Amino acid sequence: MHQLASLFINGHSQVVCLPEAFHFDCKEVYVCKDPNTGNIILSRTAEPWQEFINLANKSLNIPSDSMVARKVVPPQKRK
């Protein structure tokens, strides 16, 4: 089901006022334009490192416990 969003101009920006059902739980979103349809797509931004971690886990098959059993070495004493 489609709903309408309001548009208005604020300075040099066009603002989209989303219906409550489409509100984001973040302060910024990614925006891109589909080259074939011209549709504008808004996507929630990921946590700063979460997108990288998800990609690394998919691509490299890193076990989830890879950092659990590592040896902790104290810092070296320097002159």
User: What pLDDT, in 10s, does the model give residues 18-68?
Assistant: 999 999 988 889 999 999 999 999 998 877 777 777 777 777 776 777 767
Distance CA 2, CA 12 (A): 28
Number of residues written out for the chain: 79
Whole-number pLDDT of residue 53: 76
18 or 1, which is more confident? 18
Q: Tell me the pTM.
A: 0.52
Q: Give me the pLDDT at residue 5, please.
A: 94
Compute CA distances 29 → 4, 9, 44, 45, 46, whole Å: 19, 19, 5, 5, 9
Give the pLDDT score at 21: 93
pLDDT band at 4 (very low <50, low <70, confident <90, very high): very high
What does the block give as tokens for 7?
């548009």
Residue-range domain boundaries for the chain: 23-63
Torsion of CA 58, 29, 40, 32, to 10 degrees: -50
